[in-house]
Amino acid sequence: MSNVFSLKQPGSVEDRGLERNPGMPWSPEFVSRIRINRSAVERRAATMAKRRSVKKDYQSAWLLKAVSCIDLTTLAGDDTPGRVRRLCQKAMRPVRRDILDGLGVGDLALTTGAVCVYHNFIATAVKELGDSGIPVAAVSTGFPAGQIPLPLKIAQIRESVRAGAAEIDIVISRSAVLTGDWERIYNEVRAYREACGEAHVKAILATGELGTLANVAKASWVCMMAGADFIKTSTGKESVNATLPFSLVMVRAIREYHRLTGYKVGYKPAGGIGKAKDAIAYLILMKEELGNDWLDPHLFRFGASSLLADIERQLEHRLTGSYSASFRHPVG
């Protein structure tokens, strides 16, 4: 089964021969001409997981691939250093050794794609992860609502980079989307990219609060034009988070941006993805819409924590034929 998918350790984009998206000059024409056929998007999304049947060893391989693309996340008000350290340990050993051995992939150097925390826990995560190669991602710019002044947002980014974050998950100004002030979003994300330096920018659109699929598409384009390395659906705090229709619109924007510029932008669905079957549906989406290059943690991530526990439970079911209790698969 180890040959079904190759699982690579996380590392820099440059290590994979991928050039970072530098963005492009602001041009309102790319935004003004966007139109979305909602019914067509919803029909395509509804058939996404039904077009392929993934069973047995292939299903296990897809699930192991999903593990390698998880941003293992804790963003709770009661986070503690101990919880973050446990999360980091799980990120370095996300699937129990006996399960990997039983599947015949005991030599697989499997880790999650990143660990995502609040700023106050960056140093804790960096220290705990050591030389594992797993990057630390930090939420910033007034996450989750983004309702603080721009200078404070930029200062937050710089402090998080200084503390050791290799990836910064920023939130865009939803009010600017709803009022059609696209140039403001471009200028803000451009400023975030500059403040990040070598750290990668993951732009959170908060799709559930943008009103229309056309706004989702436009926000995707503006963030990529401004130099975002990833575009991400949600903070996980909205009433509606990642969905396949939102994702289809965003990955097709990524596809068209790549055709236009030659640069590959990553995608991260986040919020509400807690089941192994959902992970497979998103991987199918990426494979069919963007190709195998995007089946890689350098270009695709899940923003999740409970997802890992369900995947591990499904993998154990593959070995034993029965489902174990959820408490046997702690995350952090």
Residue range 318-331, pLDDT digits in tens: 999 888 877 777 77
Structural element, H or E, at residue 203: strand 200-204
| CATH T-level topology, domain 39-328 | TIM Barrel (3.20.20)
Taking residues 129-152, report their average pLDDT: 97
Rg (the chain; Cα; Å): 19
Name the catalytic one among 268, 278, 296, 310: 268
Mean per-residue pLDDT for 91-115? Answer: 95
Instruction: Please tell me whether the overall predicted TM-score, pTM, comes out greater than 0.75 for this model.
Output: yes
Domain spans of the chain, in order of start: 39-328
Catalytic-labelled residue, pool 71, 169, 229, 310: 169
- Band (pLDDT 50/70/90 cuts) for residue 51 is confident
Does position 170 have pLDDT exceeding 70, yes or no?
yes
Q: Provide the pLDDT for residue 17.
A: 54
Beta strands in 220-312, from DSSP E residues, in sequence order: 230-232, 266-268, 302-304
Q: 71 an active-site residue?
A: no
Residue 69: pLDDT band with limits 50, 70, 90: very high
Give me the catalytic one of 90, 153, 202, 232: 232
Average the pLDDT over 223-249 and give the result: 96
Report pLDDT for 330. 72
| Cα–Cα distance list, 235 to 6, 124, 138, 231, 250 (Å) | 30, 22, 12, 12, 16
Give me the sheet containing 302-304, strands edge to edge. Answer: 266-268, 230-232, 200-204, 167-171, 136-139, 114-117, 70-73, 302-304
Query: Does 169 participate in catalysis according to the annotation?
Result: yes
Question: What pLDDT, on the 0 to 100 scale, is given for residue 3?
Answer: 44
Q: What is the pLDDT of residue 7?
A: 46
What is the arithmetic mean of pLDDT over 54-76? Answer: 94
Q: Is 218 a catalytic residue?
A: no
Q: How far is CA 8 from CA 101, 111, 306, in A?
A: 18, 9, 22
Predicted local confidence at residue 271, as pLDDT: 92
Q: What's the whole-number mean pLDDT along residues 199-212?
A: 97
Where is pLDDT greater, at 331 or 25? 25
pLDDT at 5 over 90: no
Average pLDDT over residues 114-119: 98
The answer, yes or no, to whether residue 66 has pLDDT greater than 70, is yes
Alpha-carbon distance values, 18 to 5, 247, 285, 296 (Å) = 20, 23, 21, 12
